[in-house]
Amino acid sequence: MRFEYDRFGSVAGGVLTRNAKRLDKALADGLRPPPRLTVSEWAAINRKFPEDAPIPGDWNHETAPELVEIMDALSPHDPCEEVSLIKCAQSGGSASAENWLGFISDLAPGPVLFIQATFKAATAWAAEKFWPMVGASPKLNPDRRGTIRAQGLANGDGSTTQKVLFSRSSGYILLTGANSAADLRQRTVRYAIEDDLDQFPSDLDGQGSPEGMVDERLKVWRSRGLSKRLKISTPTIKGSSKIEAAYQKSDRRRYHFKCPECGSRFVPDWSDIQWADDDHENAYLVPPCCGVPVEHWRKGEMKLADGWLSDQIDGQPVSRVLDEETFQAFRAKMPASRKRGFALLGEISTFQSWGEMAVGFRDAQGDVAKLKTWTNLKRGIVFEVASNTPDYEQLMTLREQDWGVGRMPIGPLVVTLGCDVQGDGIYVEKVGWGPRKESWQLDARFIPGATDVPGEGAWKALDEYSQRGTAFPGGKVLPIDWECVDAGYHTPAAHAYCARRPRRLAVYGRAGWALPLLGRGEAIAYEQQGRRAGRARAGQDDKAYIVGVNNAKLSWYGFLRETMKAVAAAIESATPEVVPVGRVHLSRDTPNDWFEQATAETIEVRMIHGFPDRRWIMMPGRQNHYLDCRVYNEAAAEKLMLDTLTEMDWAALRVDRYAPRDARQGDLLAPALTISPVTPAPVPVAPDPAPQADTYFDVGDSYL
């Protein structure tokens, strides 16, 4: 039966007719299901990059076809519930997550939990990545009636720093940190993104792991088969990497190149990357299928969207090299698993070249910590830590007989001081540095005295010790170039000591495999009263001059092992020693307890809430004060940026510092190590840095 609108008159009838048509359309739009697009199809249509982006304009799958299948696993109609992405740095993984968030806001709205290691990291990601995507993509832009609500609306109904609201539904994106148990326990969510997973704590405030908490937040939606979860991270240490553990529990997909020469499919490996002589910048790939070298510029044509294949199908391992027919047969048999893992390795990444990887590999040789960083970030695989601690009794054989404490050998050009503060005194180690991280232990001692009162006790004695400076060959006496002082104990006294004179830095050691050797510098907050008065305040270490002790110890042990190998090889072959990177020289007067303390820790695996955690622990009956001193010396060398000095810089330092005492007293490292281009006047070449039996100078009578 047709309703007669005309009986209300021409004007009113016309209005009612138009309203009815709009109502019909609104009802139809509400009942019409969203278009059946995959996340990758949505990205190709709607994702835009701003003009100041490295690759501005529309999203293009040809740039990184390996990302297509990763995104499509996150589509609502795909049975996959969890995606684990173990990757190298700057590989497009996070951009895929951003596309998924845009897709959710448009076609599959629901509550989303986005977790970074800290809330600060999550908000930084939103400011640097998410909101620029929203501004550049009309489908998302609130100014163009997009799917994201703008921030700071006058009525208070807009997005906030912590919560991004969707404009067409009650869905939202909640930003939080893995260090906040309250935020992780608050809400039931449909989607979760755990970004930078390996930086999450294993135990949060004694309440379990953040991953376990996220699992509980998804439980209701998962019971309906509607939840989705994405885990993304560069890996860290083998056996304790959270993203590696998630990948191992998945179907473990590897990406196969298609050889441009023979057409075979193969998984690229670092062993396939080669270079001629020392031409690392022009490294190329030698496919394991036909062995015909492939230049980097051809990488794009080797990558297809269907390159992913599980490493095991029907219980049988899949070979690294397959002909096309076999590859496609395996693809057809690969099940649509609920847990999918993708290994986005550096060898396949669009955004770094094989030459860049080869240069990084070359530069990391001899330094275990640098090699770990290269392995994790450039390759995107876990790093296996050598657990063998150098034997301190064998280490004693490295004592050199031609110099001792208070005497400067030929070789060191920069001097640092590391100080470990205790309640009854301060342990100190003075270290000399040369090119390629070669080091000489110039002194190691304990300065007794109280450390709770600024400027008194051990602090006064330490200041006097520091002010004596160091006499270089030739008689020139120069101040210590940089001191790093432990500020985690009696913090205000340590700050007072460092504030008294230049070239001193209060530092706070912190465990963490991804921490840099020397982090950002902000004042350490400390307790003002109570039984912990004067100590660094709990939870405030992220506002300190952080020293990443894990990797520093890794480097130190690596240098010791390589030194012992080089010395043993030279003795066995009766040939001159091949000096390795990080060669360690020890004085004949090095105290015996230094050897025990400098090797007092070892790596142990402990299970934390079901997850393995590799950490440094002190061996029973040992102390580690001199180990901490050496770590702080490494931090001082990092502060001076010694690894950036060129051969010319080191030569200029040698000419300046080894000059006779009555020569000009300029200091190339004051107030910090920043060397301007120097063209020194012609002078005799300084002696060879190899230690000589009579090439030392007694410092005892040379103090200023």
Q: Are residues 339 and 452 in the same domain?
A: no
pLDDT value at residue 704: 25
- The whole-number pLDDT of residue 46 equals 96
Tens of pLDDT along 304-343? 999 999 999 988 899 999 999 999 999 999 988 999 999 9
Which long-range contacts (C-beta less than 8 Å, at least 24 apart) are formed by 147-150?
A: 147/102, 147/105, 147/106, 148/105
Q: How confident is the model at residue 284 (pLDDT cuts 50, 70, 90)?
A: very high
Q: Which two tokens stand for residue 76?
A: 């609502």
* One domain for residues 339 and 456: no
- Per-residue model confidence (pLDDT) at position 124: 92
345 and 232 housed in the same domain = yes
The counts of H helices and E strands in the chain are 21, 32
The pLDDT confidence band at residue 14, using thresholds 50, 70 and 90, is confident
* Count of domains forming the chain: 2
- Phi and psi angles of residue 230, each rounded to the nearest 5 degrees, phi first: -125, 125
pLDDT tens across 671-703, in order? 444 443 333 333 333 444 433 333 333 333 322
Q: For 646-658, how does the pLDDT look when each residue is reduced to its tens digit (9 = 90+)?
A: 999 999 999 999 9
Is 330 part of any domain? no
* Single-letter residue type at 454: P
- CB pairs under 8 A, 24+ apart, for 53-60? 53/132, 53/136, 59/99
Residue 393 domain-assigned? no
Confidence (pLDDT) at 205? 73
pLDDT band at 392 (very low <50, low <70, confident <90, very high): confident
Nearest to 196 by CA among 237, 230, 247: 230
| Contact criterion met (CB below 8 Å) for 276 and 354 | no
Same domain, 341 and 429: no
Domain interval for residue 181: 39-251+335-352
| Cα(249)–Cα(341) distance, integer angstroms | 8
pLDDT digits (tens, 9 = 90+) for 75-116: 999 999 999 999 999 899 999 999 999 999 999 999 999 999
Give the mean pLDDT of 193-219. Answer: 88
pLDDT at position 155 is 74
Task: Assess whether 509 and 606 both reside in one domain.
Answer: yes
Residue with tokens 């240069």: 359
In angstroms, rounded to a whole number, what is the distance separating the alpha carbons of residues 346 and 359? Answer: 13
Alpha helices, DSSP H only, in 64-130? Answer: 68-72, 93-107, 119-125
Which structure tokens are listed for 647?
A: 């051969």
Residues 82 and 414: their CA atoms lie apart, in Å, by 52
* Residue 123 CA neighbour count, 13 Å, CB half: 8
- Residue 698 in any domain: the answer is no
Instruction: Name which of 222-231, 362-371, 509-518, 674-683 the model is least confident about.
Output: 674-683
Task: Tell me, yes or no, whether 424 and 503 share the same domain.
Answer: yes
SS3 446: strand
**Predicted pLDDT at 5:** 64
How confident is the model over 541-550, as pLDDT tens digits?
Answer: 434 588 999 9
Map tokens 């200091």 to a residue: 667
Asked if residue 611 and residue 538 are part of one domain, the reply reads yes
Comparing 35 with 572, which gets the higher pLDDT?
572
Domain shared by 417 and 341, yes or no: no
- Residue whose C-alpha is closest to residue 483's, from 544, 430, 524: 430
- The pLDDT score that the predictor gives to residue 218 is 93
pLDDT of 679: 37
Strands 339-344 and 253-255: parallel
Q: Give residue-wise pLDDT tens across range 235-273.
A: 998 888 999 999 999 999 999 999 999 999 999 999 999
Whole-angstrom Cα distance, residue 191 to residue 196? 17
Region 279-302: mean pLDDT is 95
Strand pairing category for 321-322 and 601-608? unpaired
pLDDT > 70 in the chain, percent: 86
Q: What pLDDT is attached to residue 183? A: 79
Whether residue 516 has a cis bond before it, omega within 30° of 0: no
Asked, for residue 385, whether it belongs to a domain, the answer is no
Q: 530: domain CATH number?
A: 3.30.420
My answer on whether 443 and 516 are in the same domain is: yes
Question: CA 312, CA 314: separation in Å to the nearest integer?
Answer: 7
The predicted pLDDT at position 673 comes to: 45
Identify whether 99 is part of a domain.
Answer: yes
Domain boundary among the residues 324, 352, 380 is at: 352
Q: What residues contact residue 621 under an 8 Å CB cut-off, 6+ apart?
A: none
**Integer Cα distance of 482 and 669 in angstroms:** 9
* Domain closes at, from 618, 639, 657: 657
In the DSSP assignment, the letter for residue 407 is E
DSSP state of 130: I
CATH of the domain at 186: 3.40.50.300
Does 679 reside within a domain? no
SS3 assignment, position 6: helix
Q: How far is CA 348 from CA 90, 290, 356, 501, 591, in A?
A: 12, 18, 13, 51, 51
Residue-level pLDDT at 685: 38
Which of 559, 562, 578 shows the shortest CA–CA distance to 634?
559
Residue 433 phi, psi (nearest 5): -125, 145
Q: Report residue 538's pLDDT band, with 50, 70 and 90 as the boundaries.
A: very low
> How far is 87 from 417, CA to CA, in rounded Å?
38
d(CA 81, CA 622): 48
User: Which of 396-400, 537-541, 603-607 shows the lowest mean pLDDT across its residues?
Assistant: 537-541
C-alpha 586/C-alpha 397 separation (Å) is 9
Q: CA nearest 366: which of 435, 297, 298?
A: 435
- Average pLDDT along the chain: 86
Cα distances (angstroms) measured from residue 298 to each of 303, 349, 380: 9, 13, 21
Is residue 347 located within the same domain as residue 493? no
Other CB atoms within 10 A of residue 75 CB: 20
Q: Which pLDDT score, from 0 to 100, does residue 666 have? A: 54
Q: Distances in Å between the alpha carbon of 377 and those of 93, 318, 361?
A: 13, 26, 11
**pTM of the prediction?**
0.76
Q: What is the pLDDT of residues 355-391, one digit of tens each?
A: 999 999 999 988 888 899 999 999 999 998 776 678 8
pLDDT of residue 520: 66
What are the pLDDT digits (tens) for 435-469? 999 999 999 999 999 999 999 999 999 999 999 99
Last residue of a domain, one of 657, 676, 699: 657
Kindly state whether residues 340 and 418 are assigned to the same domain: no
Task: Estimate the share of the chain in helix, then strand, then coil, as percent rounded to the nearest 5.
Answer: 35, 20, 45
* Sheet of strand 321-322: strand arrangement: 257-258, 265-266, 321-322
Residue 362 covered by a domain: no
pLDDT digits (tens, 9 = 90+) for 141-171: 999 999 999 998 877 789 999 999 999 888 9
Query: Which residues have CB under 8 Å from 690's CB, separation 6+?
Result: 410, 411
Tokens of 283: 């490294």
| Interatomic CA distance for residues 176 and 181, integer angstroms | 10
pLDDT at residue number 681: 36
Say how far apart CA 133 and CA 48 lie, in whole Å. 7
CA distance readout (Å), 357 to 274, 363, 449, 554: 11, 10, 50, 22
CA distance 487 to 534: 10
Separation of alpha carbons 299 and 355, rounded Å:
12
Q: Are 459 and 344 within one domain? A: no
Inside any domain, residue 77: yes
